[in-house]
Amino acid sequence: MINVTTPYLPPIEKYIKYVEGIYNRKWLTNSGPLTQELTVRIEERLGVKNLLLTSSGTMALQIAFRIKELKNKSVITTPFSFHATYSALEWQGANIDFCDIDKQTWNLSTQELEKLLKSGKKVDCIVPVHTFGNPCNTKQIAKLKEQFKFDVIYDSAHAITTTDKNKKNILNQGDISCFSLHATKLFHTVEGGGAVFASSEEHEIASSMINFGLTGDKAFQPGINGKLSEFHAAMGLAILDDLEMIEDDRNRQKSYYSKLLNSKVNFQEIAQNTKASPSYMPILFETQAQLNIVQKTLNENSVFPRRYFYPALHQMPVVTKNNKTWQLPKAEFIAQRVLCLPLYYGQTNSQIESICNSFPQ
């Protein structure tokens, strides 16, 4: 059986070495030495600062939205993303609207966003997503932010190693950039996530928020328990040294898929001179019927790709129950036709060939 992904696990001896240290110290959580070490090493590896590790990527989003005080505020996000992008906003009580996506990059369309802003719509914050690791048009978003004065919180769940045209990590963009370290991701801590803050002051506030709002023994604000444990940090440290190897292997697979399927499907457009994290292998069919045929054939051969992100967020029951509708034809078109093929460390070329042979000629 081949699933859409299989979590990378480091040599068990390497993980056990970190775990033995946890047993010796008996320091299991509350910003322990491994969490501190992982924070520093990720900052150095990615070229970022003001990084905060959290218990999940969704927790990172919720903290970011809380810091920007989005309750009852007007927020625009993309309809083509995982449900957590929307649910974390609703959890914080934001007034959520959607902006359609670009039909080539599948990211939030800056052209459509500009139209909304110029129509006079009041916007307090936008939450773009680097979809499947593909970097958004951050330069144009920054220009619109300056012109229309809104906050920008990037959902970078898929994009921890993505770089822009200046070869800088995409997590440096926006006011806050949140990412996931879930087991299904390119780099993981089993469960976990984090955020990078442009403001050191907001980083300090967030550090208190994930620890019940405490600073020392006193609580100066409401908080929550959103900390990363030492056992999760141990997994991250055990994997971090292998990150380049994992990326190279997944990029090899993506290139081979693209070569074999070039005449049969379409692909997401990646901006020139940028680098997208090899987090997924999405393909685009001409019709939904073609997708259904291929998916059925693969399932019959014990291969299980996944339809990320279908249906589009604005068509999810949790959204439609509010009796509000949006006309977002591009997001609907893409969501109906995208299928993510298996991508994980160690998948062989022969396995990829077998998958691609399931496609109609």
Inside any domain, residue 361? no
Residues 182 and 309 in one domain: no
Residues 82 and 97 in one domain: yes
Domain boundary among 240, 258, 284: 240
Structure pTM?
A: 0.97
Residues 316 and 197 in one domain: no
What would the mean pLDDT of 194-223 be, rounded to a whole number?
A: 95
Band (99; pLDDT cuts 50, 70, 90):
very high
- 3-class SS of residue 196: strand
Percentage of the chain modeled with pLDDT above 90: 95
Is residue 322 over pLDDT 90? no
Domain boundary among 173, 207, 240: 240
The mean predicted confidence, pLDDT, of the chain is 97
Give me the domain span that covers residue 57: 2-240
- pLDDT tens digits, one per residue of 121-134: 899 999 999 999 99
State how many domains the chain has. Answer: 2
CB 75 within 8 A of CB 88: no
| CATH number assigned to the domain comprising residue 275 | 3.90.1150.10
Residues 124 and 53 in one domain: yes
Residues 201 and 167 in one domain: yes
Other beta carbons within 10 angstroms of residue 317's beta carbon come to 7
Give residue 324's pLDDT: 87
| CATH number assigned to the domain comprising residue 140 | 3.40.640.10
Residues 212 and 254 in one domain: no
Inside any domain, residue 186? yes
What would the mean pLDDT of 32-56 be, rounded to a whole number?
A: 98
Q: Report how far residue 104's alpha carbon sits from residue 138's, in angstroms, rounded to the nearest whole number.
A: 16
Residues 227 and 307 in one domain: no
Is residue 323 over pLDDT 90? no
Residues 219 and 263 in one domain: no
Tokens at 73, concatenated: 């505020």
Q: Report how far residue 174's alpha carbon sits from residue 170's, in angstroms, rounded to the nearest whole number.
A: 9
Is residue 14 over pLDDT 80? yes
Let me know the angle formed at the C-alpha of 58 by 246 and 112, rounded to the nearest 5 degrees: 90
Domain boundary among 207, 240, 273: 240
Residues 146 and 268 in one domain: no
Band (314; pLDDT cuts 50, 70, 90):
very high
Q: Report how far residue 77's alpha carbon sits from residue 95's, in angstroms, rounded to the nearest whole number.
A: 11
Residues 110 and 252 in one domain: no
Residues 348 and 311 in one domain: yes
